[in-house]
Amino acid sequence: MTEFGVTQDGFVLKGFDAILGDAKRRVGEMWATLGLEPDLTATSPLLKLIEAAALEDAELWKRLQDFYYSAFVSTATGDALDLLGDDVGLSRRDTFATGAVTLTLTGGLTGRTYVVPEGTILLAPVQGQSFATQAAVELTADAAVRQVGVQAFTRGTAGDVPAGAITAVDPAYRLVYLADFPPADVTVTNEKDLSGGDGREDDDSYRGRQLGIARTLWTAEAARQAVLDVDGVIDVLLSDPLGGVDVSQTFFNEFAFGERLFSAERRIGEPYTFDLVVAHDFRWPWRTTGGVPGVYERVREVADQVRPAGVHPNIVEADHIDVGVRARVVVERGYDEAALATAIRTRLASALGGDLRLGADVLYSKVMRAIVEVAGVVDVQRLHLRRHPPAFGRITFGAVPHQTAVVDAAVGQNLVMGPTELPVFRTDAALHDLELVTS
């Protein structure tokens, strides 16, 4: 006999057919005690009454099933998932406000192209909010006005600024990244209100954070989870060889730290640290820039909440490796080559950007598949994956080779990343070299 309800295998739903069958059987047994046989044909009024009751019971069983699974993080949704988050002190996050701004070039020189990079920091001085552009913008004297999407750095309705509120490029950002603009200048304004800050984190993202939450303090898992919750952080690598932040290790609290290290003499006054290598979205500044708090400062703030007393984090920016492709792409006739090249870059960014993590290799097969999935592409030939390393001196542990020029992998070869390297694929990167030919 089939068991329904809460079983060892979970909740087994009793469907309409099973409920109706049981009801008809009980009616038949009851009438049989009276020596009668009920009329349960398709047109029977008695059957219609039984079916109506069975339908109501079936809906009740569905509600019972929902109630049962609402008690588990992996299956709960909506308000039930919020309640489970409240139990562990993890609330659902607000979303970022988004919109568009208009960039206007003034005093531009004829024949010169001025590039406003993706991630340019814009300010709404009256509201005290900061925003980042979502794409690179090219301005010329002939095409001096362009629109670009923006996203608030701060979650919540504080980013829902009205039209005309965004009026300036952050002076600190301008000084570093737009220093070659003068005598030209770029002005900015949002012609429409920004919106979306009143939204709430979707169930899948919220569920993932709940499933990964650390249940104990002073552990590597707790420190890693706290850092991953910082806006703008993509991945984190924690190294704690002496076990200072991980109280679960067997030798914790068994060593006289004031006398010696585990394998060497301890110098007086030397702090005890563990390493945090942080990979972040390049649109978020590593150090505080103008009105935008840096990733470094925000990571230090949350790490201080989950570290033991006297054990300090050594926070280091990961090596962000620019990744590009060089290939000969055969396309169908009738397609605009410039638009198709942009579509290929956009497709690569969307296909690869969400899966890249610290130490994750860039797979040749995945890049090939992403290109051929673009409408209009017939074949991809002589595909080489390319990488360009960042500046030296930003790695705290592990041997990671550095090169001073663009490195092209052989045809069919993956790009192998070091443990502290994060591959970054940007649509406007100069590494891309796509030769489009018609079939």
> How large a percentage of the chain has pLDDT more than 90?
29
Per-residue pLDDT band at 187 (split at 50, 70, 90): very high
Question: What confidence score (pLDDT) does residue 203 get?
Answer: 92
pLDDT digits (tens, 9 = 90+) for 382-420: 999 988 764 333 444 444 444 456 778 888 888 888 888
Phi-psi region of 19 (alpha: psi -120 to 50; beta: other; left: phi over 0): alpha
**Do you find a cis peptide bond into 183, omega within 30 degrees of 0?**
yes
Distance CA 362, CA 352 (A): 8
Average pLDDT over residues 207-228: 84
Average pLDDT over residues 103-110: 92
Please state, rounded to an integer, the average pLDDT across all residues of the chain.
Answer: 84
Residue 270 has pLDDT above 50, yes or no: yes
pLDDT digits (tens, 9 = 90+) for 326-369: 999 999 888 888 888 888 888 888 777 666 788 888 889 989 99
- Kindly report the pTM of this predicted structure: 0.71
pLDDT digits (tens, 9 = 90+) for 275-300: 899 999 888 889 988 778 899 999 99
Average pLDDT over residues 184-199: 93
Per-residue pLDDT band at 265 (split at 50, 70, 90): very low
Question: What confidence score (pLDDT) does residue 103 get?
Answer: 95
Range with the poorest average pLDDT among 35-44, 188-197, 376-385, 420-429: 420-429
What are the extents of the domains in the chain?
5-69, 96-189, 214-317, 320-438
Structure tokens at 372: 């051929």
Question: What confidence score (pLDDT) does residue 346 get?
Answer: 84
pLDDT digits (tens, 9 = 90+) for 19-78: 888 888 888 888 888 888 888 888 889 888 988 999 999 999 999 998 998 989 988 999
| C-alpha distances out from residue 35 to 32, 38, 49, 358, Å | 5, 10, 22, 77
The residue ranges of DSSP E strands in 58-202, in sequence order, are 96-106, 114-116, 121-124, 129-133, 137-139, 145-155, 168-169, 185-189
Distance CA 73, CA 83 (A): 10
Question: What confidence score (pLDDT) does residue 149 get?
Answer: 95
Question: What confidence score (pLDDT) does residue 262 get?
Answer: 45
Distance CA 318, CA 359 (A): 10
For residues 319 and 279, is the Cβ–Cβ distance under 8 A?
no
Average pLDDT over residues 250-257: 54
DSSP secondary structure string, 155-172?
A: ESGGG-PPTT---EE-HH
The CB-side HSE value for 363 (13 A sphere, CA atoms) comes to 11
pLDDT digits (tens, 9 = 90+) for 137-159: 999 999 999 999 999 998 999 99
